[in-house]
Amino acid sequence: MLYRAKLVLLNVYFYTFFFLFSAIVIPALTLMVAITRIFLSHRRTMKRFRRAISWYGIIITSIPYPFIKLRYEDLGKSGTKEPYIFVCNHRAASDAFLMCVLPHECVQIVNVWPFRIPVLGLYARLSGYLNIRMMSHEQFMAQAKKMLTDGVSIIFFPEGTRSTNRTMGSFHGAAFRLALESKAALVPLCITGNENIPPKGSLLLRPGTIRVRRLPAITWEEYKDLNAFAFKNRVWHIINTELSAMETGT
């Protein structure tokens, strides 16, 4: 009974402040970007816009602390600002918000449903998030490569849909074909701890610690001799091995 009461308290607390902060922060950030547009070019305005989305994510993921803790572990330590292709495992609807930990200007590759979320879906569309289901291969590659050329990192969840348990699904190949065509460095990201934050098919949050671990970048020189199929399998095994280590306390 005590645990259920804490669970109810956590969710009432989170969703109350989620909607309250969203009602305040989204218009404030929108106004900031609108004012910025008067003085800056379209490219620099879009950079501010995308960073504003990250700031919003930082605020939202901070609300449930200390009930839900978020830890970002950077094992790459590259220190560079170059655009990357990030490849992540996908366990929860909260994964998209967790990308706020990345200190880069980013867009995400999404399916149809995120664009249908009120307000947030509109902002995702305006900020340049790419809907891979509604584009031809040629359109997708052209837009994605232009993003990378402009210095924008691209985030993929190549399982396509969140897994129903801790077993990672197979990867689709779009991220790896893009890497081979663009020669961009690819960075594996491992996410654990949010399988039930919230559970699939539910909005009910549960206490826990979420870890996002950034692995060292895989450069063009390291993968140039692979085809997309071999490359995606290699990255799948890298992420799967690291997830196992994280879940045993490493």
Rounded to two decimals, the pTM is 0.92
Domains of the chain with bracketed CATH: 68-247 (3.40.1130.10)
d(CA 117, CA 110): 12
Contact 165, 195 (CB under 8 A): yes
In Å, how far are 116, 160, 178 from 173, measured between CA atoms? 25, 10, 9
Contact 71, 209 (CB under 8 A): yes
Edge-to-edge strands of the sheet including 106-110?
68-74, 208-214, 186-192, 85-88, 153-156, 106-110, 130-131
The pLDDT assigned to 159 comes to: 93
Percentage of the chain beyond pLDDT 90 is: 58
Higher pLDDT, 179 or 115: 179
Confidence of residue 1 (pLDDT cuts 50, 70, 90): low
Label residues 118-148 b or e (16+ Cβ within 10 Å = b): eebbebbeebbbbbbeeeeeeebbeebbebb
Per-residue pLDDT averaged across 44-71, rounded?
91
The pLDDT assigned to 201 comes to: 80
Per-residue pLDDT averaged across 162-185, rounded?
91
Confidence of residue 29 (pLDDT cuts 50, 70, 90): confident
Give yes or no for residue 131 having a pLDDT over 80.
yes
Give yes or no for residue 165 having a pLDDT over 80.
no
Per-residue pLDDT averaged across 10-15, rounded?
92
Give yes or no for residue 115 having a pLDDT over 80.
no
Give yes or no for residue 16 having a pLDDT over 90.
yes
The pLDDT assigned to 216 comes to: 95
Query: Which sign does the torsion angle of CA 87, 120, 199, 8 carry?
Result: positive
Give yes or no for residue 164 having a pLDDT over 70.
no
Query: From the centroid of its chain, how far is CA 19?
Result: 21
Higher pLDDT, 23 or 200: 23
The pLDDT assigned to 112 comes to: 66
d(CA 68, CA 205): 9
Average pLDDT value for the chain: 90
In Å, how far are 91, 95, 241 from 50, measured between CA atoms? 24, 17, 32
